[in-house]
Homo-oligomer: A and B are copies of this chain.
Amino acid sequence: MDKIRVGILGATGMVGQHFVQFLQGHPWFEITALAASGRSEGRSYSQVCRWVISPDMPSYVRDMVVQSCEPGLECDLVFSGLPSDVAGPVEEQFAAAGYWVSSNASSHRTDPDVPLLVPEVNPDHVGIIEHQKRRRGWKRGFIVTNPNCCAAPLAMVLRPLADRFGLSKVMVVTMQALSGAGYPGVASWDILDNVVPFINGEEPKVESEPQKMLGQLEGDVIRPADFTTSAHCNRVATRNGHLEAVSVALKRSGLTGDQVVEALSSFRALPQELKLPSAPELPIVVRPEQDRPQPLHDRGAGRGMTVVVGRVRSCPVLDWKFMVLGHNTIRGAAGAAVLNAELLKVKGYLEP
């Protein structure tokens, strides 16, 4: 099988670097184009990219010439790691020019005709792509998005709870890792021996995206799910892995903790059934220890694609509370967008 040719938009940023790393050796996708902002254009990736993740920059991309973020790239599928303040129109240009766009940026997440996709949560939302193409007059190209790095693992955990027990309220307090701010991101002076109880633009995303993801596709419309979410977002001094303290109110009462744990642990979804290359064997793991999940120890679960839950117990104010951990740059960014593309391929959306 010929691999699908892939371009990375925003290839020199931290999310772009994670795309490059995550796609190394991918069985279906092959990076053939790297694009970044004007200054970098025309020089090799190793010259313009200050690589800030471990291990070293893969050798096969070192000499690729970085191009500008405009249609014309030699590829069919583009992963967008662009900053949200520039991603919007650029991604539309690519889609209009016939590229399939899987974006990590927030620009189009709230567009009614754009899926906010997590393959374990709402794979059927890809159905709105046809409407998107018709409405926008795009022949071949389209845009799908993955959610915010906190909303992604949260939605995965809410999916089986909503399905089994009905969901009415969600309260989440996040302790988010440094990599979520990109590079250079958070100044060390601001975070060593500190917590910053604010992340610009984050809470509105966490409070609205889960409802869209758990919403119902009805014809050409995604009808948001009817629960309410409240979020406090904090930055802490961890490198990777967003930890979330979650309390939920469910429609069904009289549950035991074991039932809640079982609903989470036994959750399997389409990516697992289809054995998509980036799908973890277990989308959710529930740890039995009283002090897990921890970012340091659990962010690597399932190569960063498994959501780890722990401390499931009853909540005196809502019904149940527990901790959730997701790897923000994998399950919450690069891995999420790649898994979306894998789903699209299997569903026939990436046909030449």
Contacts and interface: CB of A to CB of B under 8 A. Distances in A.
A228 interface: yes
A315 B198 contact: no
B198 A239 contact: no
B184 A187 contact: yes
B317 A171 contact: yes
Contacts of A190: 52, 184, 188
Contact of A183 (B187, B238, B292, B294): B187
A343 interface: no
A255 interface: no
Interface string A42-80: 000000000010111000000000000000000000000
Nearest to A290: B198
A193 interface: yes
A146 B289 CA distance: 31
A186 interface: yes
B243 A195 contact: yes
A108 B30 CA distance: 54
Contact of A317 (B55, B229, B290): B229
Contacts of A297: 54-56, 194
A205 interface: no
A234 B63 CA distance: 31
A193 B240 CA distance: 8
User: In which size bucket is the chain A interface?
Assistant: 35 or more
A234 B173 CA distance: 11
A320 B171 CA distance: 12
Contact of A239 (B14, B192, B295): B192
A179 interface: yes
Nearest to A199: B291
Contacts of A154: none
B295 A193 contact: yes
A245 interface: yes
A148 to B, nearest CB: 16
Given A188-B192, A189-B178, A316-B229, A198 B236 contact: no
Interface in A227-264: 228-230, 232, 234, 236-239, 243, 245, 247
A268 interface: no
A170 interface: yes
Contacts of A184: 184, 187, 189-190
A198 B234 contact: no
Nearest to A168: B317
Given A192-B238, A193-B296, A237-B237, 10 more contacts: A14-B189, A187-B187, A187-B188, A193-B193, A193-B238, A193-B295, A194-B297, A230-B315, A234-B243, A236-B236
Q: Which 5 A-B pairs have the closest CB atoms?
A: A184-B187, A173-B173, A194-B296, A198-B291, A232-B245
15 contacts: A54-B297, A170-B317, A171-B317, A175-B175, A184-B184, A185-B187, A189-B239, A193-B193, A193-B237, A193-B295, A196-B294, A198-B291, A228-B316, A230-B321, A234-B243
